[in-house]
Structure 1
């Protein structure tokens, strides 16, 4: 066996896991099946590494040999499913979710948020006994689950016969805890209501895989998790926050949009954490306007909910506006919160504590601003487009090329003129699209139009200066601090 690296994991196994090399895995397991028990310094198993790098076939092969690795945790308390959700590895996530749903439930420890250990472990059994109990469970599971005609268990979707990488001794080793195989005790007593499924396992922060997927914006993982177990959306972390809170805090609007489309109960959208903050409160407090807009556009969200201090989302926005600079997006968010608060749902809310110095931008004002930028962009595009056919200094009639093409100033002219023309054309299209979009996208397009118009004006000014410099006689420009 090669020298171990990575703080305990075999070098060859580490390379195979990170590269997804199934052939190398089979060779290593044939030599020593216990090699899959090795871990990195962060306590990542081969399954963790496969999930992290998105190697679904490698993960399937690992689970075929050592199925109990599906519940193994690293130093952060993450299972392989957590890592797959965090990195957006859809194929690995779907594989692990399918296996996790079929995994037998087990009673958690009294104070264990992470699902507890197997009864063999709680009974003080030795490590080899715990592995034996798991092997006994794998041996008995085909008898306890419905079979299809082809002999494949309906739960797992793969044969339960001898795997080419699994030594026969492992399948038939019967370890016992207290004289009774652990799997037999679970099947004898049934599945208690409080027993956590593997898809509901938490990391050290109490986050489920759905929390992690929402936090990192992995929409594919969010879809897969909700498709296989929709009730995972009800889980909260140690701060009392669900997946909606996690997506808002991280500012992942795509993940929030995905959750809004697939989670129906309105209670989850208005769920308050330990501080009384709903997802809308957090969007207002952190100034994640896009997430706040998505929540306000959903009729299930109640904007009048108060937090632990008796403040609504509008009050939090006003508090932030009093202490800092107010931008256009925040003003629009505040105005929309005021409008939603008027519908109030029968609640008496405090009067607004902010008297805006800016007049809200209505449709008429917006049209005037758009017309002004549209006119400026059109003029810049027209002038810069025409200057490409009337190059400073003229053309060589015989060759059809610019006479000053070798000059450094001419090159600056070409680049700056092109930038001005392209920027102005983009502004024109943005303003055309802005008339057809929602209010928040209108503001977004208008802000970008303003920035690009400034860029176009500066580029046009630079092209004008270089054009004048080129056309001035060499003797007359010797005193000019410009390019020679």
Structure 2
């Protein structure tokens, strides 16, 4: 029985040792591989069912006592493949994340047993790297320090696997136990890129500090690490992170296209001349940002003073499209649907068109492109289907809500003439008029009637609207917002009137019944609010807050 190596607690800080000694990677299973796959043969089928299957189940369930009995009775079973994919007991226990089970199992294994691989060429440490359980990985590496360099499926070392799954703690631990000098250039670059993709930037920066060649090294897709950063919004916070990289021009438009404003600002601060750069179609970064509807990047143009007018005058070389022509076309599907509902999407598109219209030269408003089209005509034709979808969405929403408002108005109107407790036959006044809850009933019933009637009028105005382009800007969103608000008020008031009636006529001896009924009635109002609150806030934001969409609120470049 092998004993675990009692090595000191490893330094969990990331120490990328690229200058370490070179060792060869054990890519293939050794000819002296002690793995036993004989249990998988047809001749030992019965033994497989009686030994391997129970051991597999014990490993999956973390039942060490059951597993220990099997291991003690069958010598060498810890080196045997107990699944059709050649996983050993250690593979299964690690995959199931049973830390105590693994700790006990390692006392039954030799150092070399930890190097056994399954049919996909993965060691148990590869499984631990994928699971993210650092304690399990530490026990295994303490027992066999060579494990971090043994490649698994597709030639990936455990560190690469941990980064692919985004396990930060596991990456930091394995980094301190991996000899980077033993990796090929391709493996090192791929590892560097996958760590960037996993947002583990401190490790990536330490790798760069040890080997600055990684800054310009390209992966199989011919991309550098900075290309990956340019497509990841909100990941860079300091200019010093860019100092290691070179050739920023080609990254400018990747950042503008993906909306990575933080990265772009740092890039421009480091290289101010980039604001003048154009791509192969003679488009500036603001043209690209407008085309992809990234207002956070486009708003930087307001900080440029007179330079803004010069950049806004750029045209595409071949198509002769101006900046206004670019926003006259529909954006990509994912950018169009950043707001919900076709009507609100149409409203956002109109905002973009009007904002760009204010900054382009006045002569460009009626300017034609190479196809002889004016930007306004291009916008109207290109957004005609969206306008029709917005009209249908708005009418369907208004029709459904108006139906509910009509039902509420009918109910509360009738309730006003059939007051709870009835009327005094002699004087014709309500019998319970002096009760506090009666006054609450009358007030809430009146509020419900007025608000539901208001809601009906508002939704009727939506149905009879002209649905011109400008109607989508403020008029229609405002009506929808007010209609939903008044409908919600009418529902709340109706529920309050119902509850007040119960307090007036119900026997107080059955208070728990009363509480149950009131609770169920209240669910109606709150369910409406819960289901429509997002739509209401989207409408409010589109109708009023969106007017501040194209204003720079802070100086990013200076």
Q: How high is the TM-score relative to the length of structure 1?
A: 0.49
Report the TM-score when normalising by structure 2: 0.44
Q: Which has the larger radius of gyration?
A: 2
